[in-house]
Amino acid sequence: MLQFYYNPISPNARRVWLTLLEKGIAFEPILMNLDGDQLQENFLTVNPFHHIPVVVDDGLRIVESLAIMDYLEAKYPQPTMLPSKPQALAKVRMVQHITANELFPKIIALIYESADSPQFIKAIQHIDKVLQFFTEILDNSLYFGSEELTLADIVAGTAVLYLPNLGVSLSAYLKIYEWSERLMQRPVWQKTKISPEDFEQFKRRVRVLVKMHRRELVSKNKSR
Ligand SMILES: N[C@@H](CCC(=O)N[C@@H](CS)C(=O)NCC(=O)O)C(=O)O
């Protein structure tokens, strides 16, 4: 059976978790505590970059959430979550990459930086730009690039749904607000909804990991 290394508070793992559940794929969950399990020798042989999610299926080990989602879509095509028409496919890919490259780093900034810092204010402005762009892409469709749920909705949904908990209201972005409500009505999203306690735990973990990565960067630069 497909093995899935994850933690429910990890947004990257949540993308894959929701894809597995939405597609009804049977899997063996392997819970990883991100306070050290990911650095254990036995996990480093699974993912040398010490990240979740990881999927092992039919003898193939797959890392990187977006690559895993593509694998799941190709191997388990029903229900289809990747449109084939060029324009729709472009919308899906844009939303996935904008979430990973533009939105998510700013969510981390909202958690890590103090509310009166220039970095925090810049993060809020950048998130506004992303939400306006998403409004344009969504247009009058129910989901990104489709009238049915796509991989883009899963990737953007796991990030955008965190925003109200971080003080960014979606009410100024009506179409995005309605889309987020639509997602939350889906049984799988209800079932995996993050609790306030888990969200606090996620924020604590982010602060620790950002500190750790910054320290690693400083020591790398010193050794150059
Ligand atoms: N680009 C990777 C990022 C994975 C990632 O950063 N995972 C975090 C949890 S959300 C993690 O495992 N962090 C543990 C660590 O960095 O040691 C993906 O999309 O899968």
Q: Which sequence spans correspond to the domains of the chain? A: 2-75, 86-191
Contact status, residue 53 vs residue 66, Cβ threshold 8 Å: no
Produce one character per residue of 181-192: b if its CB has 16 or more CB atoms within 10 Å, e if not. eebeebebbeee
Per CATH, the homologous superfamily of domain 2-75 is Glutaredoxin (3.40.30.10)
Q: Which DSSP letter does residue 98 get?
A: H
Mean pLDDT, 10 residues at a time, the chain of 224 residues: 96 97 98 91 95 96 98 97 97 98 96 94 97 98 97 98 95 97 97 93 90 81 76
- Does the Cβ of 10 fall within 6 Å of ligand 1? yes
* Ligand 1 contact via 209 beta carbon (within 6 Å): yes
Which atom of ligand 1 is found nearest the CA of 10? Answer: 10
Query: Listing from the earlier edge strand, what are the strands of the sheet with 27-31?
Result: 27-31, 2-6, 54-57, 60-63
The domain made up of 86-191 has a fold known as: Glutathione S-transferase Yfyf (Class Pi); Chain A, domain 2 (1.20.1050)
Which tens digits make up the pLDDT trace of 65-106? 999 999 999 999 999 999 999 999 999 999 999 999 999 999
Our mutation pick for probing the ligand 1 site, out of 51, 203, 210, 213, counting the most ligand atoms within 8 A of Cβ, is 51
